[in-house]
Structure 1
Amino acid sequence: MATESQQTVLVVDDDARLRELLCTVLTPLDCELVQAGSGEEALTALLQRKVAVIVLDINMPGMGGFETAQLIREADELASTPIIFLTGQADDGDLDRGYDLGAVDFLLKPVSAAVLYAKVKALLELDRSFARLRSEAANLHEQQMQAARSAETRQREELALTRRRARLAAIFTEGSLDLASLEKTIVTELSQMFGAECLLRLPIADNDWHDSFSHTEADRTSQQPQTWLVEHLVGRSRDVTPHGSVLVDELTARGEHVGYLCVGRTDGRAFSEVEAVLFRGVSAAAALALANATLYRVQAEYAAVMQATADAILAVDASGAIRSCNKAATALFSGHSDTLIGRSIVELAVDADRDRLREQLDVTLAMHQEVSLEMAFAANARRSVDVLITLSPIGDSADLHVAVVVHDLTEIKQAQLVISHLASHDPLTDLSNRRQLNERLAELARQKERGKLAALLYMDVNRFKSVNDTYGHDTGDELLVEVAQRLRAAAGSDAQVCRIGGDEFIVLLEDVPSMSVAVAAGNRILQLVQEEPVRCKNVTLRPSLSMGISGLGASAHTPEELLSQADLAMFESKKNRLDECVLYTDLIGSRHKGKVDLRAEVAGAIARSEFRMAYQPIVNSSTGALFGLEALVRWRVGDEEVPAEEIISLAETAGQTGPLSRWILARSFEDYASLGRSDLKLHVNLSPDHVLEAGFVDDLIGAQRDNRILPENICLELAELTFYGDPVAARLALRQARSIGFNLAIDDFGIDHASMTNLLHVPVDWLKIDRTFVAQVHEDQRVQRLVRSQIALAACMQVDLIAEGVENQKQADWLLEAGCVLQQGFSYAHPIEATDLAAEVKNWATFRTNQGTGEG
């Protein structure tokens, strides 16, 4: 196996025995011997290795020796390889050609072993000599190149050092250089300048330090360079002191300590004396630059704060003359600083406050104490501005003696006015609120010995909740604002108009001559508020108010009584749908007390089954046949019958509408089942609260199954109020009841704006024309047109109609002719008590005469 330094001899001959003989002769030369049997093999061998000598036979079949030598000489890397030609005979032409091809010798066969050995050995020694010369020349060239590179590197380093010194000088002379940028620049530039790690340590608050580091990319010891520098700087470790590879300098400027600067080489290379001198010079320049940057930062911070503050800041001398000011001062007083400089601060005060300001300025100068006071200054356009002025003495300055801070109180004063106004006024309508009303009522109560009356009108907007639910709260707010404006205009400037709740308003009339005059004023206000529709967003609404009135010094003796009585009178107006002001009376108070007592009895009455049922016949007006029965609840307390509408109202206020509705379902289904008349329909009124209960459908199914009646025979009547609270939940529950088989009817159809909407979402079977339309249908053409539209709507919707409250034959005839066949009312029959129901149904005649009085 040839080694990397071993020489190679290539023996080329087509005679294998001769090749072996030649190689045997050359073996003692300690070289690698490679054989080739043809010119082609010789070229292949030369491509695979470097050869020192080639022994080449001239006469070979195929590619001869001369051709092979020609190709070898054409390769640059083989052009100088010595060739010894072998031949059996040689003439002068062969010799000339061989030497032209670079042959170093010709040997005739048979070849002398001694001659071949001597010639190859000489050529190998010559090759080794040439190799040594080439190596020595290359080494010499490399040394020359290294010397040149070193000189160039030194020149570049010197140039870079000169440039960095110049750069540092330029940087350190920049008076506005940012402190953080300067710290980074110092450690970076010194690290590059000295080829070392750099540490800059500056003092900060609480005797602590802020360190900035930079390092080179040279080899580092296993110890972190930052820790290593800190240890050398503070001498924390024993035997650790600054030495030749570390330079430390304490930074001082203008007699004050600035910090420390340290550079160190972790590879142990020492700094030269020139570098040490340069480091001390750079440290002194760095200290001065750091001191300047710190001072500049402090000055810039103070200047920025002074200019950015919204308060006017002025510096004045002992005479009060303004020496400097910030932007807020120029904006407040003149708009230009040059118009302020030199003026007296006293001149800026209004005339009434100048003497006081001059006096306080003298006190501040004499006592060296800060003082604050409120006064008025004349600002731009000579307008008066309330300000809080603070006078503060300024140190030991020879010129500037007082700093004046002027705080504009305009916004605070305005905010105080706004807060005061909001505390006593409603934010939506800007009317007086309950607090202001109570204060005025308390004052009137204290003055009641004057013997004059004060009337309080209490009102709310009817069906206001439905406006919010249907059109949104923005529309509701617009309606309230318009009502408030109309009330203010109608009541006049002498009356106090208040909003005390969501849709509740109060008008307080003072010094009224009598309550009759106050009632007349209330009716006038109602008329003015309600006479014109209100345009809100994309809908037009006609405002409707219920109003009650009470008098302080008449029926009421305290503000509490006054409010309570007017509230009760207002509810009396709402209950009876009165379009007039209702005056509180003792009778209203008595009824209210009775209702309070009855309200407490509702739950017990349900548990004791003290309620009873009556049934209003529904008649086919064309044939006189009985079509169905409407279940009506009754309650007798003592000798008095409680009106049906009051029963529902009492149950609502007592929170018992759900239990009462369940009782009505169970009792009416039981009474209907006992009749055994599946040809008749049973109409039952539902409580809105009961419909929204989770168990509503289960209550229906339970009552129906308990009495074994078909759900198709039951019609559930719904008031529009059912859909006010949660219309989606109510519609879902009713659709479920409809899917089971129960019929649905909308009661009092046409008296509420939401009827059409509900027809879209609830699959009703019946519409009931309200008694308010029926009462006038035989004599009022406008009402007739409305009822005809309801009948047409029912036909379009493919639902049936029932007219309620039919009290005479004219009404019945007109309705029948218009297409409303099913009717109920006193014209046909009064409600039938449950105990008489079976007999009355059995003996039903085509037409019954009206009997007594009762509910239609």
Structure 2
Amino acid sequence: MFTVLSCVVYAHNIWLVLLAAVLCLSGSWVTARLFRRAGQTTGMLRVGWHFLTALAAGVAIWCTHFVAMLGFYAGTPVGFNPSLTILSLLIAVIGSSLGFVLGGSRLFKFAPAVGGAVVGLAIAAMHYTGMIAYRVQGIVTWDQRYLVASILLAVGFSALALQLGTRKGKYANDILAGVLAFAIVALHFTGMTAFNVAPLEIDGAYSDPEAFRALALAVTGMAALIVAAGLASYLIDDKTRTENIEMLRQMATTDALTALPNRQGFEARLEFELSLAAEQRHKLALARIDLTRFKEINDLRGHKVGDSVLRNLGQRISDLLHQENGEFVARVGGDEFAAIFRMTGGRDIATFLEKIERVMHAPIRLEGSEIHPRASLGVSIYPDDADDAETLISNANLAMYRAKSDISRSICFYEKDMDQRVKERRAMSADLRDAIAHGQLSVAYQVQTRVSTGETLGYEALLRWEHPQLGFISPETFIPLAEESGLILDLGEWVLRTACEDAATWTQPLTVAVNLSAVQFIHADLPKLVRDVLAETRLQPSRLELELTETAVFSDGHRARHLMEQIKQTGVKVALDDFGTGYSSLDTLVSFPFDKIKIDKSFIQEAHSNPQTIAIIRAVVALGRSLGLAVLAEGIESEEQLNMLHMEGCSEGQGYLLGRPSPLKQLVADGAITVNPPRTASSGVARAH
């Protein structure tokens, strides 16, 4: 060991030794990174990276040797054989190529070590080929001990370098570079220790140390350029990979349709904001946003228009956000959004929510028509309502469902008793599903009469639910629940079929009126359902009257008009229910082919105390008469109200004064309705089911 150190210190130019060491370390560092990069690729790309690895390693090995050789004091004139010197370079590059390819192949467990041993042999072969090319004026002898030791050091440490360098770990590259550099340096200086020269004096022979130093610098410069080129390739590729990874990450966390963050982006942002809120001790608001009529848009206009609506809303939201203030909105589902608001510096959450509500409710003009989106917002606040992400989201959802069920407001904040109400609604929804299956539902009929004579004109079919434990449940309670859960389609079809079956048995040619939910009306198969039910029950189409509210037709006038025209082609009548409570009643009457107007009961009940209400009723009756529409007043409960309607010219009436809703059996027992005897199979007119 001391002999080797003495060779380094006393037999070499220390500055060129240091230069060789720097070149060796930098070249090994670049080689290690290129080798690791090659292992991460396949195909021709991997071949290219292996070539760069071998080039960097070969240059580092050869130039370290050559520069150090130029700094060696031989004590006699020296020179170099050009052919053998070039051959030594080729040995370094080709041997390194074979070793690194084998080391990176992972063909067997110790392939890296075997590949490293090949690299070590290449280092040794390069060194001693270079020493043969080294011409000295003297007698050369070799110390076999140091010669063998140098080869063993090169092979052993090169094998160790690749074996350690291919393991996973933060410092694997640095370990590979350091051990490989040591293998190169150990071989060179141990091998030089084995090299002994007995000078011979030859006249005219001399060496030029200045020329050697200049050559050393030139070689170092060229080596540095080659190593730098390999490093540049690695850095450029690494930067490209980083940019590609960032682009992929951006794609993975961004909704392609709206350009807003998606669910994954939202979850990551929420975790960040919650940790920030906990650290800085401020509040954080989470809002869940649901488009209340988006399914209608898709059903009535098609998914292309639906996508355009979402894109439009996404752009509006992006335009209003101030992300630097902690405002964040993501699209987390088909028609669901989520907003995060950092409540710092006295900033008001109400203002932020109003901005969201405003853009979500503003009309959107597409394909020549105007679409009116609506949204329900539910808000929960950290840490007041929850102290973790999952609970915060759950509570915001509860508040959002409350907003959807409350027509008086579109923004709802979480309240602690919402959990219990949601459990109750879920239980009732399950009970309603059971009620359909176990026959707990029934239809009651309320009479509709001519105001002037009291003549019975028909009956309105009203759905009733008698719960086994809770008793009678109002339709105002379970109908919205059925609409939310999707049960309304089954309920609506059952009521329509039952009412038509019953009416088909009546001896009198009375009409039967059936209410249609807004959800049921937009169902694409409604005209077909009406035709099928009429055919199965053999009820005359003119005896069926379908009642719609303005809400059912207001969302998409073009689609609603088309559906109504299809229904009316069957001969069925269509009435506008709850007239006067919608947004644009006069326009609705002019635009849609209704047969009847039903004045909402709120006007009738206020008529005795509000003269303006009587004026409205008078105007509606006159409007109906001018348009050729029958006018029916709902909610008649007193003789005074009936007389007022008679004086104003209202043609039809309905209410408790004229008759309460009753089961068909009761109406038959009272003689209000007579029914035909049941049809039998032998008569050839069996009822269709």
- Scaled by the length of structure 1, the TM-score of the pair is 0.42
Shift of 1:459: 2.5
Residue 437 of structure 2 is matched in structure 1 by 607
Whether the 8 Å contact between 1:532 and 1:542 is mirrored in structure 2 is yes
Alignment of 1:642 onto 2:476: no
The correspondence for 1:499, drawn from 325, 331, 334, is 331
Flag the 1:578–1:732 CA change in 2: closer, same or farther, 3 A. Answer: closer
Other-structure match for 1:571:
401
Alpha carbons 2:500, 2:534 under 8 Å: kept: no
Aligned to 1:127: none
Structure 2 residue 459 is the aligned partner of structure 1 residue 667: no
- In terms of Rg, which structure is larger? 1
**Deviation per residue, 1:661-715 (Å, 9 max, x gap):** 443234334554676543x422123444594485652322222x3xxx6443321
The 3-state SS of whatever aligns with 2:386 is coil
Secondary structure of the structure 2 residue equivalent to 1:632: strand
Give yes or no for the alignment of 1:699 onto 2:528. Answer: no
Structure 2 residue matching 1:699: 3-state secondary structure: helix
User: 5 Å matches for 1:707-856?
Assistant: 710-718=540-548, 738=568, 741-748=571-578, 751=582, 764-769=594-599, 794=624, 798-804=628-634, 820-825=650-655, 831-834=661-664, 836-838=666-668, 842=672
Match runs of 1:575-590 below 5 Å: 575-590=405-420
1:365 partnered with 2:237: no
**1:559 matched to which residue of 2?**
389
Output the aligned Cα RMSD. 5.5
- Bigger drift between 549-558 and 603-612 goes to 549-558
Counterpart residue type for residue 445 of structure 2: Y
Identity of aligned residues (%): 28
Give the CA deviation at 1:460. Answer: 3.1
Q: Deviations over 1:487-521 (max 9, x none)?
A: 637x993332333344433332335799xx97755
* 1:436 counterpart = 2:270: no
Alignment partners' CA distance in 2, 1:837 and 1:798: 32
Deviation per residue, 1:444-491 (Å, 9 max, x gap): 5557866754322222344345566469457625751465257637x9
Correspondence for 2:49: none
Q: Whole-Å Cα distance in 1 between the matches of residues 632 and 218 of structure 2?
A: 92
Please, which of 317, 324, 332 is the counterpart of residue 484 of structure 1?
Answer: 317
| Greater helix share, structure number | 2
Structure 2: tracts of 5 or more residues without a match? 1-215, 674-689
Q: Is the aligned partner of 1:684 residue 2:517? A: no
CA shift in 2, pair 1:414/1:818, >3 Å: farther
CA deviations on 1:6-32 (whole Å, 9 max, x unpaired) are: xxxxxxxxxxxxxxxxxxxxxxxxxxx
CA gap 1:576/1:492 in 2 versus in 1, 3 angstroms: farther
Contact 2:277 2:284 in 1 (8 A): no
Cα deviation for residue 633 of structure 1 reads 0.8
Quick one: structure 1 residues 485 and 367, their matched pair in 2 at CA, closer, same or farther if it must change by over 3 Å? closer
2:425 to 595, 598, 623: 595
Contact 2:309 2:364 in 1 (8 A): no
**CA–CA separation in structure 2 for the residues paired with 1:712 and 1:586:** 52
Higher strand fraction (1 or 2): 1
**Cα displacement string for residues 744-786 of structure 1 (whole angstroms, at most 9, x for unaligned residues):** 33445674789979987x8643344556887889999999999
Change in 2 beyond 3 A, CA 1:615/1:436: same
**What is the Cα deviation at residue 546 of structure 1?**
2.3
Q: Secondary structure at the match of 1:366?
A: helix
Once residues 766 and 632 of structure 1 are traced to their aligned partners in structure 2, the CA distance between those partners, rounded to angstroms, is 18
Q: In the comparison of the two structures, how many residue pairs are matched?
A: 448
Change (3 A) 1:730 1:592: same
Tell me the secondary structure at the aligned position of residue 436 of structure 1.
helix
Give 1:370 deviation, angstroms.
Answer: 6.9
CA 1:698/1:821 → structure 2, altered by over 3 Å: closer, same or farther?
same
Cα distance in 2 for residues equivalent to 1:389 and 1:753 = 68
Summarize the alignment of residues 86-97 of structure 1 with structure 2, pairs less than 5 Å apart. Answer: none
Q: Distance in 1 between matches of 2:377 and 2:231?
A: 50
Structure 1 unaligned spans of 5+: 1-358, 376-387, 391-405, 844-856
TM-score (norm 2): 0.50
Please state how far the C-alpha of 1:631 moved relative to its aligned partner: 0.8
- For 1:781 and 1:372, the matched residues in 2 are separated by 94
Q: Deviations over 1:223-269 (max 9, x none)?
A: xxxxxxxxxxxxxxxxxxxxxxxxxxxxxxxxxxxxxxxxxxxxxxx
CA shift, 1:575, in A, is 1.9
Q: Which amino acid counterpart does residue 365 of structure 1 have in structure 2?
A: M
With over 3 angstroms needed to count, the CA separation of the structure-2 counterparts of 1:463 and 1:829, relative to structure 1, is: farther
CA distance in 2, matches of 1:512, 1:407: 42
In 2, Cα distance between equivalents of 1:575 and 1:533: 22
